[in-house]
Structures are given as C-alpha cells and as structure tokens.
Structure 1
Amino acid sequence: MPAIQLTATNYDQAEQQFTDLLEMENLDQKVAAQPSIVSNFENALTTAINAAYGESAGDNSAHRFLQRVLYRINRLKLFWYDDLRRYTNERSAYLRTVRDQIEAAWQEWELTQLDVATLQQLNVAQVKQALLDRGDADLDPALSEDSRYLREQMSEAGYRRVLAIGSFDGLVEGSRMCAILGGAANEVQSTLTRVMIEEYGNGRLSRKHSTYFAQMLEEFGMNTEPESYFDLVPWEVLACANHNFLLTDCKRHFLRYNGGLTYFEVAGPAAYRNYLAAAQRLELSAAAMGYWELHIREDERHGRWMLDDVALPLAEKYPENAWELILGYDQERLMGERAGGAIVRSAREAEQK
C-alpha cells in the first residue's frame, strides 16, 4: 500500500488536535481508555516521520509539523507565567512517548549529516587542537552571500521579520541553559554559571538580554510577548531550540551540549554584526539595535570563556569521550547555518509581500 500523503492543511489539523490534548485533564487515563482520541494525530505523526526522515526525506511540511509538536512538549520544561492549567500534563507518559518517537527518528537523521565515525577516532590532543582551530575560523569568518544580503540589501520589512523570528529565542534568553548548571561545584560549573548570570543581567530585569530584545520590538510597535510570532518561526529554527532542550535535559549529552554552546558563543558576534550593520544602514535608533551591540560585546568574552575554561578542561577530564565536544560544536554550526539560511529566506519573502 502506498504511503499516505498529507498536505500542510492536514498537518495543521493534526497539530490542533494535539494542542487540545496538551491541556486535557487526565490525558494518560483517557488515552488508555479510549485510544481513538489520538488515532488521527498518531497517523499524521507516523506519516510525517517517514516523510521527514525516511528514504525520500525533505518534506518541509512534515519537518515543520514534527518540530512544532516537539517544541510544544519541550516548552513545558520552562515556566511561562501563564495559566497554571497549561502544565496539567507536563509529566504525561503519553507526551513522553510522542517526544521520544520524534526525537529517535530526528536525531538519527541529524547524525547522518556528519561524519561521526571519524570524530570518534580523535584523541584528546586532536580534540583540543580542533576546538582551537574551529574557534579561530568561526570568530571572524568570510562574509557569505546571506551575510552580504543582511548587511547591504535587507529592507526594513526584512529586518522586522528577522526580529519577529529572533524574538522566539531572544525573549527567553538562555532559559534552557538552567538545566545544566546544577550538580557538583568546580571551575567548569562556575564558568557556565557566569555566562548564565550575564545572560540574565546579573539578576536585574533592566539588564537582562531579553529586555534589550523587547526594546527592539517596541521600537517597531511589535508584540513583546514570548512566542507571539511562533507561526513565523521556520522549522530549522525550531529544530535548534528542540536540540537544545534535548541536550540540556540529558546529562549524558553534557559534553555535546558544551561543544555546541562553545560554537554558539564564539560565532555569535559575527552573526550579530550582520544584523547591526543592517540596522545602521537603515538608520534605526539605538534602541532598535541595542541587543546586537550588547551581544557582540559580551559574547566575545563568553566565547573565550567557553573555549579556555569549559571545552578544553572537559576534554582533559573525559579523554575517552572528548570527541563529543567536537560533535556538539559541528552539529551546532550545521544546524545554526541551516537556521540562518531559513531566516534569510523568510526575510526575503517578507520584502516581496
């Protein structure tokens, strides 16, 4: 029998069904007593996994559906200062099953994008040198075609779209990082805590990075509520968030997470300089670009901390698994570049409209 083909509309309907399930009282008991209430959603889930990660992978509608469903589950790990009833099923066994089903297929597909077998052969000295070499290369990379578009061509309509998509992460700056800070005290933990504290403005809301992002939105009369522009967020950006949730939730992935965070902090200033250059060319106010300036300044320092005081010491401490730092670094770069390309495509579409 040929595989069922679902349209974007069908996936939207399945996602709405899933959204209703999220807030259903006694979800696990109801699913056990009446499995038919989830049959339509589960059929869509199976179809989407095959379409996104199977032999003929590449269905963007399927990718979008899966990443949105996964994010709706993952976001329950954070508190949003909203209706408490929304957390009714935060420890649901059924939701955990859905999450695990998506993650298993998705992560296997993601790992095929990299030569993991070669990375596994690296010894500690090679890992440390690879981290230093990557850090040097990513600190100030050559301008790509997308970078030149942002700096030299993007209009205010495109800039607004960039802000809308960026608000998805920018308004909850660093939240997922909280999950990896607990545990034994040492120099690595202390450095990670310093990074986290600076992201949170040293406990002052006026200095928190998300406040600077909200100020940029306010300059354009845009909505400053977290997730306001969720429907504009490309699946490639959602995948970065979901990947972050996974790595911070599973302590076995601690090295992989910190390799990824090292890339994020090292490469961040180069990306933010593109957005800052666009804002300056558009002659926007200081408030409309303050977030970029802050990040360029602070992330240059954070990148050095992550390399010298987190990644390199972790390689020494876990010599047999040090290669996982490179896996995390390379995977974060790959997924970040994919997300960046999606943001540029969305900005171009906004300009055409």
Structure 2
Amino acid sequence: MKLPPPRGPVSAALTAALQAAPHDLPAGLADGFGDGDPITDEDLQLTLFVCYELHYRGFDGVDDGWEWQPSLLGLRAAAEQRFESALRRLVEPLPETAPADVPRALAGLVAADDGPSLAGYLQRRATREQFCEFVMHRSVYHLKEADPHTWAIPRLGGRAKAALIEIQIDEYGGGQLDAMHAELFRTTMSCLHLDTTYGGYLPQVPAVTLATSNLISLFGLHRRLRGALLGHLAAFEMTSSLPNRRYGNGLRRLGGSPVATRFYDEHVEADAVHEQIAAHDMCGSFAAAEPENASEVLFGAACGLAVDRLFATHLLNRWEAGEGSLREPTLQAA
C-alpha cells in the first residue's frame, strides 16, 4: 500500500516521518487533533489507520521498524483514547446483562437497530456508479476481511476459541485461495472494473469509512478489548445474511454476473450459520468463562452497529442530495 495523502497536521507529520528511518516523533504531536467528533475527524481517523496498517501489511518504502517505534505507539495511544471515549459516549449506557444472557442480549441489540437501510437502497434504487462507490468504500476492510478478528485467536481458550476458529476457517475459504472472502471481494471489484489494489481507494474514502475498519483494529490489537472484538464479530455475522442478499440482488439488477455476485451470495448462506456460532458458542462461551468481561461483548456489538449506522447515513445522505459519497472524484466503472 502507498502512504496516503495527509488530511491534517497530525497525519501530515506522521506520513512525512514514515518516509525516513525510525526516529522519535515530535512531543505533543497529538495536540494537533481538532476538537470535533473523533469518529468523523479526517486527521485522526487517517492517523489511526496508518498506525494500524503497520501491523498488517505496511506501506511501500516504510521501514518495518516503525511498527513498534515508541513515540509512534504513543501517538497511536492518544488517538485511540479519543476514539474509544467517543465510542463509549455513542453507545453507553448499555443494559446490565448477566453473562448467561449475553446471546439473548446480542439478539436484542440487533433487533433494536434502527439504522437506515443502505442494503435496501442498493437493492432497489442505486445506480451502477453508486454501487461502485459502495464497493470502493468497503474495499478498505473487505480486502483484508477476517484479519482483524483473527487477532483474538491466541487470546482465547476453550469453546470460544474453537468457535472463532470455525468461523475464521470459512472466512479464509478453508485454505483455498479462490474461496477466501477477501479474494471473492477482489473478484467482485474486478468485474466492476475497479482498482483491486490493496488499499487502492484509501485516499478517497472519508473518516467514517476508516472508522468502520479502525474500530476492529482497535479491538483486535488490545487484549483488554478481546470481548469487544468478539461482540463486534457477532453483530457483524448476525446482521450480514439479509443485507448481503440485497446487495447481491442489487448487483444483479445492474447486470452483475454470477461471478460478480458470488461474494455476496456466499455470505447469505455462510453467515446464517455463523450467526448462531458467534452468538452462542463464541460469545456465550466467552461470557461464561470470563463473566467480568461479558459487558465488553455488548459494547463491541453496539459499536459495530452504531458506526455502521453512521456509515450508511453518510452514503444515503450524499446520494439523496445527488452527490458522490467519496472525498474526491475518482475514475468510476465503465
């Protein structure tokens, strides 16, 4: 991935520093973040994304030694504190839930979610250009789909660990390259004549899109948030089957071939099974084994639902206004 253009003073200083050998970043760099909502702060979300990506595939020309550079980790921690505080303000207080009731509480959160129907719009009304924009947004996560949740595997034991591995095996296509969900998404992008480069649309997507990915990295890279990571995955799986059916039908309406829609069609069946595994075998078992962390499962699920609502609202508001949803014009599908 190439380093993206900066979006403010902090991301500008960070990306400039990353082009040199690892060294100390300026003290107080995080003071340059604005006073707005951290979830939609372009400078903060890009800074977080860049810091997190050093733990995934890194950037062209950036020394791998930056991954654990102490002052960079300090900057990341300061950005994370702002982000996590904003998330807790967004979703808390959550109802008190006994560990044994966590699966039922997860189902209640999903049932109560009243976000706008982005999937319904894409199924019935979206133009081909709008559908392509949606795919560009989602490429930031889907081209590394499952990787952030995999951070939880070495941090779990027992039934919760086995259940997570069962889900992840499907996400990774049972070890078959052409069945990996990230590769299926790459094929969808290729069918739409979009750039399939990992991170290729990073410069175009707004902060709220970056937040949907940063949220999972935040949970995945902190052992103390392992319960939130499982809750996020459970909410992801429990709200996936019907929307993906609608995405697939929307792409078919726009002339998409069976090859192009396979990513969405695969999720309709797979996630219907994953829903039960995630809620009961994974989150239920985790809450039973670690009752003191049961509330974090609901926190993670609520965050996933809330940030997705913000993402959907952004796209639909822009499209209803006759505008594009990306940050800058880009070549659309032919």
How much does 1:147 deviate? 3.8
Q: Distance in 2 between matches of 1:235 and 1:198?
A: 30
The C-alpha deviation readout for 1:117-163, integer Å capped at 9, x for no partner, is x53x332344443234345x27xx88945443222211011011111
Q: How many residues align?
A: 321
Among 282, 285, 291, which residue is 1:310 paired with? 282
Of the structure 1 ranges 151-160 and 307-316, higher mean CA displacement relative to structure 2 is found in 307-316
The C-alpha deviation readout for 1:229-288, integer Å capped at 9, x for no partner, is 112222112112112111111111111211111101110122222311211221221122
Among 47, 71, 92, which residue is 1:69 paired with? 47
How much does 1:47 deviate? 4.4
Counterpart residue identity of residue 350, structure 1? G
Among 192, 204, 207, which residue is 2:164 paired with? 192
Alpha carbons of structure 1 residues 21 and 226: separation in structure 2 relative to 1, 3 Å? same
* Secondary structure, aligned partner of 1:350: coil
Alpha carbons of structure 1 residues 95 and 143: separation in structure 2 relative to 1, 3 Å? closer
Give matches, 1:236-255, under 5 Å: 236-255=208-227
Residues 164, 229 of structure 1: 8 Å contact kept: yes
Look up the match of 1:92: 69
Among 317, 323, 334, which residue is 1:349 paired with? 323
Q: Distance in 1 between matches of 2:92 and 2:255?
A: 44
Among 106, 130, 140, which residue is 1:158 paired with? 130
Residues 76, 87 of structure 1: 8 Å contact kept: yes
How much does 1:10 deviate? 8.9
* Secondary structure, aligned partner of 1:349: coil
Give matches, 1:234-313, under 5 Å: 234-313=206-285
Among 24, 31, 45, which residue is 1:46 paired with? 31
Matching of residue 228 in structure 1 with residue 213 in structure 2: no
Among 92, 104, 125, which residue is 1:129 paired with? 104
Q: Distance in 1 between matches of 2:256 and 2:71?
A: 48
How much does 1:185 deviate? 4.3
Residues 262, 303 of structure 1: 8 Å contact kept: yes
Q: Distance in 2 between matches of 1:13 and 1:251?
A: 30
Matching of residue 16 in structure 1 with residue 1 in structure 2: no
Residues 131, 326 of structure 1: 8 Å contact kept: yes
Task: Name the Cα RMSD after superposition.
Answer: 2.7
Give matches, 1:328-343, under 5 Å: 328-343=300-315
How much does 1:344 deviate? 3.5
Residues 116, 312 of structure 2: 8 Å contact kept: no
Alpha carbons of structure 1 residues 86 and 161: separation in structure 2 relative to 1, 3 Å? farther
The C-alpha deviation readout for 1:64-86, integer Å capped at 9, x for no partner, is 11100110000111135x64744
Unmatched tracts of structure 1, length 5 or more: 1-8
Q: Distance in 1 between matches of 2:295 and 2:115?
A: 29
Alpha carbons of structure 1 residues 145 and 177: separation in structure 2 relative to 1, 3 Å? closer
Alpha carbons of structure 1 residues 239 and 320: separation in structure 2 relative to 1, 3 Å? same
* Secondary structure, aligned partner of 1:311: helix
Residues 161, 346 of structure 1: 8 Å contact kept: no
How much does 1:186 deviate? 1.8
Of the structure 1 ranges 338-347 and 320-329, higher mean CA displacement relative to structure 2 is found in 338-347
Among 82, 106, 111, which residue is 1:105 paired with? 82
Q: Distance in 2 between matches of 1:250 and 1:319?
A: 18
Structure with the higher helix share, 1 or 2: 1
Look up the match of 2:142: 170
Of the structure 1 ranges 259-268 and 212-221, higher mean CA displacement relative to structure 2 is found in 212-221
Structure 2-normalised TM-score? 0.86
Counterpart residue identity of residue 267, structure 1? T
Bigger radius of gyration: 1
Residues 234, 343 of structure 1: 8 Å contact kept: no
How much does 1:309 deviate? 0.5
Q: Identity of aligned pairs, percent?
A: 20
* Secondary structure, aligned partner of 2:323: helix
Counterpart residue identity of residue 219, structure 1? C
Q: Distance in 2 between matches of 1:50 and 1:184?
A: 37
Among 23, 26, 40, which residue is 1:27 paired with? 23
Alpha carbons of structure 1 residues 190 and 161: separation in structure 2 relative to 1, 3 Å? same
Of the structure 1 ranges 280-289 and 97-106, higher mean CA displacement relative to structure 2 is found in 280-289
* Secondary structure, aligned partner of 2:256: coil
Counterpart residue identity of residue 113, structure 1? L
Matching of residue 79 in structure 1 with residue 57 in structure 2: yes
Alpha carbons of structure 1 residues 269 and 10: separation in structure 2 relative to 1, 3 Å? closer
Unmatched tracts of structure 2, length 5 or more: 330-334
* Secondary structure, aligned partner of 2:138: helix
Look up the match of 1:4: none
